[in-house]
Structure 1
Amino acid sequence: MPDLVSKGTRGRFRDLATDSTVNVIATAFQDEGFAPNYESTYVDSSVRRQTAQHHMESVNWADEEQVARALRAIERIIEDFDQQYTSKFWTALEHDGYRRDPDTKRLLLRAPRSPFADETLSNLTDPSVIKSYLDRLHGAVDTDPELAIGSAKELIESTAKVVLNQLGVTFTKDDTLVQLATRAQESLRLHPKQAKTDGPDGSTGIKSILGGALGIATGVAELRNAYGTGHGRDRRPKGLGPRHAHLAANAAFLWCQLMLDTLADPKAPWRRNTE
């Protein structure tokens, strides 16, 4: 697993440690359960930077729970520092995917990273609608399976409409998710019956995957109708858990990424009909 906070960002904090004290640094980390790494080979002319580094080496920076505790310690250490000295650290932390409350300036949970490449979303006329559904799905997948399943369906539906809009293909408010998904795949020449070109896009393997993609949209729609939000129910669904939420979310990510990557690809087969 990759580090959730980069070495560069940790180095920014280590530099800030010179404006603290050894006692404050050690206490903040130890209160969060981190002892210094006594086997560290890091040596620094500043005992405060060295203390900060030795404690940071006890953190598993790929573990979300440990990172959350370490960041609480860091925030505590620099909470009274002048903003002009801490701005580079906060900027680096934002690049790692974290954010701060604009009003309280307190560190919030790690902002979820999009499963889609930046260039894929930047190709869209208005990527904000996709991002909003991604945020909603990420926020629910570990805590609310019903909402996650409903949000997975909405992400697929929104992506299909965005694709159709961008390609100038009409649809109506009465179209079902399966109808929208099928039309989007056909418009991008991603229907298995359209895979007749030479090379990988016409291969048997691609045809099988494209057929499966249609099944994903259908499956998520059926799962949402049975268990997801969007319908008033007289009782809570039984047996629903996080693994079902993750299944729906990952299925939606796969289908949407296929659509958006193909829409952005300058060499995709669908463009041959528009050139």
Structure 2
Amino acid sequence: MNVLARGAICEYWENEGFQAIEGYVPTREGGVRQTAFDSYATGVDWADEEQVRRALRVFESLLRRLRKEGALESAEEVEISQLLARDGCQLDEELRIHVPRVAHLELHLAALGNASGIRSELERVRRVGTEYPDDAIGAAKQLIEATAKLVLYERGRPVNENDDVPALIKQAQQALQLHPAALPASQASTPPDNAESIKRILGALSSAAIGVAELRNRYGTGHGRLTAPTGLGPRHARFAVGTACTWCELLLDTLQDPDAPWRNHP
């Protein structure tokens, strides 16, 4: 079969800017095509979001080529979809691979040594998915709480285990100068981080994160109830998890940004 000849595999990788590892020694049994694929895939830095994005485009191109040539059976597509789902990814009908927000967060954690709590909650979010909305909402709230505590720890601020989530959200944003009430008044020469538009966004994002915690108190897991919550669906799960991830991404981005305002005005 020459559907995916060695040259084609190399071309797809190199079209995305990858180069094969020179003198690559195979680590598993396989033919020349598999060895060619591995010589590129092994060199991908899977902790680099941009490289991961390009590598996934390679995978998509290879899958589309196989389908076009009639070399990808429906059962194989299902199996590939299931394998991707284990990592929280989704393969759609057009063979596009959709990466969940939680995967982006994991890339931030590589530089942090005390992120086990966040990793645990990310795994919980991935495991429950959208099939169990009340569990997903509970996991989203826990993710926010773990991120807030990590930020306070990294900034050398005390963490009171008795504080509720709204208090932790406020403290974490203040520690990174992301709380709108703590920002100086806007002026003509105001930097972007102090602009009124940014303040409004930060205020809305803070309220949204608090809203996830309140949603969990009403619908999510973690509280004994006389009756199970009804009316929740996958869209509610995606909404809660997406909101939590947006808030967590902002804080982790700012925590690791070498030019963030909190570094200049500790």
State the one-letter code of the partner of 1:185.
Q
Q: Distance in 1 between matches of 2:64 and 2:209?
A: 48
How far is the alpha carbon of 1:55 from its aligned partner? 4.0
2:262 aligned to 265, 270, 273, which one?
270
Alignment of 1:194-233 (within 5 A): 194-196=182-184, 198-233=190-225
Q: Distance in 2 between matches of 1:115 and 1:253?
A: 9
Name the % identity. 41
What corresponds to 1:15 in structure 2? Answer: 33
Is residue 57 of structure 1 aligned with residue 56 of structure 2? Answer: no
**Contact residue 125 and residue 166 of structure 1 kept, 8 A:** no
2:76 aligned to 69, 74, 77, which one?
69
RMSD, matched Cα: 3.4
Query: TM-score, normalised on structure 1?
Result: 0.63
Q: Aligned pairs, how many? A: 197
Alignment of 1:166-205 (within 5 A): 166-196=154-184, 198-205=190-197
How far is the alpha carbon of 1:206 from its aligned partner? 0.5
State the one-letter code of the partner of 1:232.
G
Secondary structure of the equivalent of 1:115?
Answer: helix
**Contact residue 121 and residue 142 of structure 2 kept, 8 A:** yes
Q: Distance in 2 between matches of 1:53 and 1:259?
A: 37
1:116 aligned to 93, 97, 105, which one?
105
Query: TM-score, normalised on structure 2?
Result: 0.64
1:138 aligned to 117, 126, 129, which one?
126
Q: Which runs of 5+ in 2 are unaligned?
A: 1-10, 14-29, 36-62, 89-98
How far is the alpha carbon of 1:136 from its aligned partner? 1.1
| Cα gap change, 1:132 to 1:190, in 2 (>3 Å) | same
Q: Distance in 2 between matches of 1:180 and 1:129?
A: 15
How far is the alpha carbon of 1:129 from its aligned partner? 2.5
Q: Deviations over 1:17-68 (max 9, x none)?
A: 9xxxxxxxxxxxxxxxxxxxxxxxxxxxxxxxxxx99644358x9xxxx6x8
What corresponds to 1:160 in structure 2? Answer: 148
Q: Distance in 2 between matches of 1:172 and 1:53?
A: 52
Q: Distance in 2 between matches of 1:121 and 1:218?
A: 23
Q: Which runs of 5+ in 1 are unaligned?
A: 1-5, 18-51, 74-97, 100-106
> Which of the two has higher C-alpha Rg?
1
Q: Distance in 2 between matches of 1:261 and 1:185?
A: 12
